[in-house]
A and B are shown apart, each in its own frame.
Chain A
């Protein structure tokens, strides 16, 4: 009989976390899922944010794919997502490889590179806006280096503004990518490298045949998170360029905000948000499937 009591107690103990999960799930459904689904309805109307509305079918969705501004914003969004993901991974992996070890200098430098991650994106946007301004630190540095011809209004030119935004995002989040790669690197046993060295493998061969395959789970996380973040980019763009000049740095998230609150086109804005949500979900699912398969085949 004592066994029965223990089992009952164990069962009860195991049920407690579900209560916690249930409450969180209820809040999640109430605060996020329900409003999102209910809000989607407005994408099929002509609601301006105030007053009444009428059903317009797929007109708003049709407009998303024919409106030059929307297409330009989607193009910028995809550009930023790809650019930041690729550069962030190159920088993050390089830093992780350089700082993987136990020396005091490496231990000191690791938190230094992670520090920008702790800043709010809005703060980062404001800081870099000043750095890129005509009288800012970047142009001052170029003047000190006697490179005055290179001085530019970096955020005011369509050719440079989007790259400056991408660089800022990479600057902020490369530290996070580094930490994830570091965790992956520290999970690789040194005996694998020792065995490879005994077999005559050089550093490059070891990197390609041991490090890269065993970092596959870290790659999955480091590709997925920046890519989704890049597709949703808003704060830094809003603070640095507000989407300008023209629409040259406007992202989908920024356009959603603008359509709703500047143009008063809530229904169109909701349609854009639905398209973005579906796009992010599809991109994430495809990436996850591809990267997971790669993890298992290695």
Chain B
């Protein structure tokens, strides 16, 4: 009677609206919204994982943002505005690497999580610091040499299996095609042939080179010189195109995909991009022949980026839940398939990589592998010096000895 006998005014409407808002407020407040910062190249895999996690945990939402190289995330930590879940590079050697962040107390210790009890032995050093586990191992990647089968047939050559064969291949192929597609305008591509040659020289002569280096028993000048001289030999024998200095890595991927180049050296994660540029292309994967003796060729390999929980997070339990979700074998397998990498827990059984990759699979099975070099470097200054230095070396702006000295100086810095 009351409601009917009184006209409904604007004030009543406002009051009703306020009551409705208050009634719905607890539901809104109960949902936790986490923030995450990750690499743009892993967006598809991460978005899929987030969708699966949110479906399994209706009270938790994750707002992810992606960056090209993760550099800005370090600034977020600096300003006290770190995301709840962050990308972390395993090992050391980069501003966002596990050891750099853990040393500064920026990461939450996740040693008590269930996945921490099943970390494969070969990944333990990459995901722990001072005996504590901070991130789950996700996948591992390797540096591979892609060859365009059709171009190789046109050149009339087989895939080179040692360094002398590679140089001879360049001599033969350069008249009709680009022997090796190379994006030298960017710095990161310099790592790929470089790491492959170092793995097959310095680490063959001394398999414990990294440990000896850390203990001060050797240095870059002693170990890396041969690989840099090999780089110069490749340039002088015409392995790279005249325009390589102006090409990006993406240009190089298009060259191998479209048959303008015979070979490409890079991480295996680039293979889907090659196939995207030319779905009909036939690609064979091989180890880069970084030694004159085929039996000494090694495959550079390493754990890939993973997820950590910020020590600054206000939603640590929810963030840990997401990390645990990613670490579940089934979820990790889906994630790995999307980024074309091998699941960390499979490393001991060494399954064959996708595609035509027999030679690579043989090396993985034989454990003729060397961990990515920068993962054992003590600071994040060395890698940029190496990358810029190789660009300088190949454009005659520096000498091998001068570059090695700069790297040794950087290694001795904190």
**Which residues does chain B contribute within 8 Å of A244, judged by CB atoms?**
185-187, 388, 391
* B384 and A262 form a contact (CB under 8 A): yes
Assuming the A-B contacts A156-B246, A157-B245, are A263 and B380 also in contact, with contact meaning beta carbons closer than 8 angstroms in the complex? yes
Whether the pair B395, A158 counts as a contact (CB closer than 8 A) is yes
Q: How far, in angstroms, from A141 to B338 measured CA to CA in the complex?
A: 42
- Closest residue of A by beta carbon distance from B187: A244
Known: A46-B414, A245-B395, A265-B381. A51 touches B104 (CB 8 A): yes
- List which A48-72 residues lie within 8 A (CB) of chain B: 48-52, 68
The docked-state distance in angstroms from the alpha carbon of A241 to that of B242 is: 18
Residue of A nearest to B384 (CB): A262
> Among A51, A155, A258, which residue has its beta carbon within 8 angstroms of that of B105?
A51
Q: How far is the CA of A263 from the CA of B413 in the complex (A)?
A: 12
Known: A153-B242, A258-B384, A262-B384. 10 other contacts (CB 8 A): A156-B184, A156-B243, A158-B392, A243-B388, A244-B388, A245-B395, A245-B397, A248-B397, A263-B380, A265-B381
Query: 16 interchain pairs (CB within 8 A)?
Result: A49-B75, A49-B77, A68-B406, A133-B246, A133-B247, A156-B243, A244-B391, A245-B185, A246-B391, A248-B392, A262-B380, A263-B95, A264-B95, A264-B100, A264-B380, A265-B381
Given contacts A153-B246, A245-B391, contact A263 B384 (CB under 8 A): yes
B184 nearest in chain A by CB position: A156
B276 adjacent to chain A (CB < 8 Å):
no
What does the 1/0 interface line of B367-381 toward A look like (CB < 8 Å)? 000000000000111
Which residues of B are found within 8 Å of A132, using beta-carbon distances? 246
Contact pick for A50, options B77, B242, B244, CB 8 Å: B77
Q: B392 contacts A246, CB within 8 Å? A: yes
- A122–B305 CA distance with the chains assembled, in angstroms: 29
A242 CB–B CB distance under 8 Å:
yes
Q: A133-B246, A134-B243 are in contact. Are A242 and B95 (CB under 8 A)?
A: no
Once A48-B104, A156-B184, A156-B243 are accepted as A-B contacts, the answer to whether A246 and B388 lie under 8 Å apart by CB is: yes
Residues of B within 8 A of A246 (CB): 388-389, 391-392, 395, 397-398
Alpha-carbon distance between A128 and B357 when the two chains are bound, in angstroms = 39
A261 CB–B CB distance under 8 Å: yes
Q: How many chain-A residues does the 8 Å CB contact rule pick out?
A: 34
A-chain residues with CB within 8 Å of residue B57 when the two chains form the complex:
none
A262–B75 CA distance with the chains assembled, in angstroms: 10
Kindly supply a per-residue 1/0 record for chain B positions 286-301, scoring 1 wherever the CB is within 8 Å of any chain A CB and 0 otherwise. 0000000000000000
Report the Cα distance A132→B251, complex, angstroms: 14
Residues of chain A within 8 A of B391, CB atoms compared: 244-246
In the complex, whether B103 has a CB less than 8 A from a CB of chain A is yes
Residues on A with C-beta less than 8 A from B247 are: 133-134, 153, 156
CB pair A261–B71 under 8 Å, yes or no, is yes
Interface centre among B185, B384, B395, B414, by most chain A C-beta atoms within 10 angstroms, is B185
A135 to B380, CA, bound (A): 34
Bits for B241-265, please: 1 = Cβ < 8 Å to A, else 0: 0111111000100000000000000
The 5 closest A-B pairs by CB, nearest first: A153-B246, A156-B245, A51-B104, A246-B392, A134-B243
**Complex Cα gap A133–B104 (Å):** 42
Is B202 engaged at the interface, CB distance under 8 Å to the other chain?
no
**Within 8 Å CB of B379, what residues of A?**
263-264
1/0 contact trace for A207-248 toward B, CB 8 Å?
Answer: 000000000000000000000000000000000011111111
Residues of B within 8 A of A241 (CB): 185
The distance from the CB of B100 to the nearest CB of chain A, in whole angstroms, is: 7
- Is B118 part of the binding interface, using a Cβ–Cβ cutoff of 8 Å? no
Residue from B78, B244, B246, B381 having most chain A Cβ neighbours under 10 A:
B246
The answer for the CA separation of A243 and B106 in the assembled complex, in Å, is: 30
B74 within 8 A of A: yes
Q: Hey, which chain B residues are within 8 Å of A181, CB to CB?
A: none
Closest beta carbon of chain A to B400's beta carbon, Å: 14
Bound form: Cα–Cα A153–B245 in Å: 6
Question: With a CB–CB cut-off of 8 A, which chain A residues contact B394?
Answer: 245
A261 with B72, Cβ < 8 A, contacts A50-B104, A246-B397 known: yes
- Interface size for chain B: under 10, 10 to 19, 20 to 34, or 35 or more residues? 35 or more
A151-162 contact mask (Cβ, 8 Å, vs B): 1 or 0: 011111110000
B395-413 to A contact mask, C-beta < 8 Å, 1/0: 1011000000010000000
Measured CB to CB, the nearest residue on chain B to A49 is B78
Query: Nearest-CB distance from A160 to chain B (Å)?
Result: 10
A266 touches B78 (CB 8 A): yes
Chain B, residues 58-72, CB within 8 Å of chain A (1/0): the string is 000000000000011
Q: Which residue of A lies closest to B183 (CB)?
A: A156
Given the interface pairs A262-B380, A264-B74, A265-B381, the reply to whether A153 lies near B414 with Cβ below 8 Å is: no
B101 at the interface (CB under 8 A from A): yes
Please give the distance in Å from B186's CB to the nearest CB on chain A.
Answer: 7
Inter-chain CA distance A135–B248, complex, in Å, is 12
Q: From A250, which residue of chain B is reached at the shortest CB distance? A: B388
Let me know if B104 and A263 touch, CB within 8 A: no
Quick one: closest A residue to B414, CB to CB?
A46
Which residues on B sit within 8 Å (CB–CB) of A243? Answer: 388
CB under 8 Å from chain A, chain B span 53-107 = 71-72, 74-75, 77-78, 95, 100-101, 103-106
| Chain B residues with CB below 8 A from A262, complex form | 71, 95, 380, 384
Cα–Cα distance between A60 and B181 once the two chains are bound (Å): 40
Query: 1/0 per position for A256-271, CB-CB distance to B under 8 A?
Result: 0010111111100000
Nearest-neighbour CB distance to chain B for A150, whole angstroms, equals 13
List the A residue with the shortest CB-CB distance to B245: A156
Query: Contacts A156-B246, A157-B245, A244-B388 given: A51-B106 contact, CB under 8 Å?
Result: yes
Rounded to whole angstroms, the CA-CA distance of A132 and B248 in the bound complex is 12
Contacts of B388 in A (CB 8 A): 243-244, 246-247
